[in-house]
Amino acid sequence: MDLLHVSLSTILTAPLLAQQTAFLLDGATGILLGVVISCLLIATGAGQILRRQPDSSVNPAIVQAFIRRVRAWWLMTAILAVTFTIPSPVATVILFFLISFWALREFITLTPTRLGDHRTLFWVFFILTPAQYVLVAMGQSQYELFSILIPVYGFLFIAARIAVAGDYKRFLERIAKIQAGLYICVYSLSYAPALLYLTDWTDPEYSTKSTAGLLFYFLLVAQLSDLLHFVCSRLLGKNVIAPNINASRTWEGFFAGTGVTAVVGAMLSLTGATPFNPWQSAVMSIVIAVMGAAGSMAMSAIKRDRGVQDYGTLVEGHAGVLDRIDAICFAAPVFFHLTRYYFTTASGG
């Protein structure tokens, strides 16, 4: 694994990588994709039936929100399926780079910056963000730099660059804002495509399979737990966790939603798309669900502080990219590390 001098040009041509990821869309991932498309078809049908009900007890606004969410899922599934069919993980990395870039745009647009931050922001958008994704695309050999570039060197650089610009007003607040945006939208999210590059599985059987299934599993469980928390809060919620931040998230919804996610996660492991057995998969699903809920809460807190409903409303009147990926951002690093430490030998184990 000491391929420390892997250059950019070898990403696309390295025989090791090419052999490992020749078919990102293999049988197990195909089964998982089939399951997802079936679920989406059912959800689309349910949404249409709910909408056609002349006077149902269901709030039409919720039905509309549900239909929009299902539509976003279709889009996400379609884009991922297309990137998986391209026989190189680089396509998926580029896709996630674009999502990060757009999310960071929404984040920085919403949190006020001063004129003195302008050049720092230019570095953040055009140097640090692409650099992080280039390191992801260089694979596990660059894991060390990939995992510290932004939280160590990036953060020091941001503080220094703003100081050099010469505006000291609310200095600490401003560097914290830019760092938080970069950390959540770029660094944390980049762990999702990094899953594709995990190697040296302890389970020899999984080594023959495509890691696309793992990424797909992760995104699926994260989005599903988000939906299940919402639905369970509606059905049996009483004790709101933090009414000032999100009036619809309840403790009952959180525990029930996490429980259902664990059951679904255990069943998803039967597709063979992950290296987990059913109980391991259930634990992983719980971790993803808890982190996802934490992410949604944290991002809601930022939104409430800025007095907006969605990251997108500032701009277009519908939810922004950041509203869709907040759960993924918080869950990705934890899921990546748990998988890397317990299911591969890359950590020296």
Partner 1 sequence: MKFNFTGPFLAGLAKVVAGSSVRWVDCHPDTCQRIYFANHTSHIDAVIIWASLPKHCRELTKPVAAKDYWDRGWFRRYLARSLNAMLIDRENIKVHRSPVESMLKEIGDKYSAIIFPEGSRNDGTNLREFKSGLFYLAKKRPDLELVPVYVDNMTRILPKGEYLPVPLLSRVIFGPPIWLENGEPKTEFLVRAREAVSRLRDV
Q: Quick check: 102 and 125 in contact, CB under 8 A?
A: no
Structure tokens at 187: 């660094």
- Residue-level length of the chain: 349
CA dist., res. 183 & res. 176, Å (int): 10
Q: How far is the CB of 262 from partner 1 (least distance, A)?
A: 38
Give 240's strand partners: 250
Query: Least distance to partner 1 from the beta carbon of 34, Å?
Result: 36
Q: Please tell me the number of Cα atoms within 13 Å of 155 on its side-chain side.
A: 14
Question: Smallest gap, in angstroms, from Cβ of residue 120 to partner 1?
Answer: 9
Q: Tell me which residue of 267, 264, 271, 262 sits closest to 209, measured CA to CA.
A: 271
Q: What are phi and psi of 168, to 5 degrees?
A: -95, -5
105/209 with CB nearer partner 1: 105
Smaller CB distance to partner 1: residue 181 or 213?
181
The helix (H) or strand (E) run that includes residue 240 is: strand 240-242
For partner 1, give the closer residue by CB, 2 or 316. Answer: 316
What is the C-alpha separation between 216 and 251, in angstroms, rounded? 28
Which residues of the chain form contacts with partner 1 (CB under 8 A)? Answer: 101, 105-106, 108-109, 113, 115, 118-119, 121-122, 125, 314-316
For residues 249 and 252, give the distance between their C-alpha atoms in angstroms, rounded to a whole number. 9
Q: Are 28 and 213 in contact (CB under 8 A)?
A: yes
CB 130 → partner 1: shortest distance, Å? 13
Give the shortest CB-94-to-partner 1 separation in angstroms: 16
Contacts of 84 (CB under 8 A, 6+ apart): 24, 25, 29, 92, 210, 212, 216
CB of 67 to partner 1, least distance (A): 22
Looking at the Cβ atoms of 55 and 316, the one nearer to partner 1 is: 316
Tell me whether residue 237 or residue 320 sits nearer to partner 1 (CB atom): 320
The least distance separating partner 1 from the CB of residue 112, rounded to whole angstroms, comes to: 9
Q: How far is the CB of 110 from partner 1 (least distance, A)?
A: 9
Identity of the residue, 121 or 291, whose beta carbon is nearer to partner 1 in the bound complex:
121
Pick the closer one to partner 1 by CB: 118 or 337. Answer: 118
Residue 115 vs 172, nearer CB to partner 1:
115
The DSSP code for 149 is: I
- Contact at 8 Å (CB) between 273 and 84? no
Q: Which is closer to partner 1, CB of 324 or CB of 340?
A: 324
Torsion angle, alpha carbons of 330, 338, 139, 77, to 10:
-50
Phi, psi (degrees; rounded to nearest 5) at 79: -65, -45
**Cα–chain-centroid distance for residue 257?**
19
Cβ of residue 292: shortest distance to partner 1, in angstroms?
Answer: 25
